[in-house]
Amino acid sequence: MSSVHATEVEYVIDLAGIFVFAVTGALVAVRKRFDVVGMAVLAEITALGGGVLRDLVIGAVPPAAFRDVGYTAVPIVATALTAVWHPHLERIRRTVLVLDAAGLGLFSVAGAMKALTFGLGAPAAAALGVTTAIGGGILRDVLAREVPSVLHDRQLYIIPALLGAGTATAASLLGARGYAVTLVTAALAFGVRLLALRLRWRMPRARGFEDHA
């Protein structure tokens, strides 16, 4: 694949992930009864926080979020759509979790691919893929006064992100890159996250603590 085409793939994946994560941030704001300004703030931070951190680490400065109007415009569009079409209150949490899982998969792959493009090795690329996926969600949860999902990974949050980023990195090193590969690896992380939620897969607690979850 040419470098130009690879860049296009990364851009499309980035925007898709930004939109999905922005919706999750806006939905959390709805559940917290924030106004539209609060919705927009949570949408922007959720969507862009992890990517900004990734770009700072790999030296892609100023970060893409500050160089391309699309990165900041997409969360505004997501906020507007969410304000009008958000589901009934009793269904918001389920929707948030599903969309968050989708964003997790998309961002883990996008982050790993961009790190590889900047010459990082496989382990670092996979780690930055995870960082891209979880960074904005951590900021969202802190601002919404909730315990960040990553701090109770017994629900398998980091593991699906690592699976998506690691698989995408391995595929890239083997010469397989493109829309199909990125979508399949993102779907892998998404699917594992959803299965963990549906089947209540859990990581173990420290010894001596009972599990009531």
pLDDT digits (tens, 9 = 90+) for 14-48: 788 899 889 889 988 998 999 999 999 999 999 99
The pLDDT, as a whole number, for residue 204 is 78
Q: Is residue 210 part of a domain?
A: no
pTM above 0.85, yes or no: no
Alpha-carbon gap, residue 116 to 211, rounded angstroms: 39
Spatial separation of the C-alpha atoms in residues 128 and 134, rounded to whole Å: 10
209 inside domain: no
φ, ψ of residue 17 in degrees (nearest 5): -65, -40
Please check whether residue 97 lies inside any domain of the structure.
yes
Q: Let me know if residue 135 belongs to a domain.
A: yes
- Tell me if 108 is assigned to some domain: yes
Quote the domain boundaries for residue 164.
Answer: 3-199
Q: What is the DSSP string of 145-208?
A: T---GGGGGGG-SHHHHHHHHHHHHHHHHTT--SHHHHHHHHHHHHHHHHHHHHHT-----STT
Residue 177 lies in a domain: yes
Average pLDDT by stretches of 10, the chain with 213 residues: 57 82 90 94 95 93 91 95 76 79 89 91 94 92 88 80 95 83 91 90 74 54
CA gap 23, 178 in Å, rounded: 25
- Residue 64 placed within a domain: yes
Residue 79 domain-assigned?
yes
Number of domains in the chain: 1
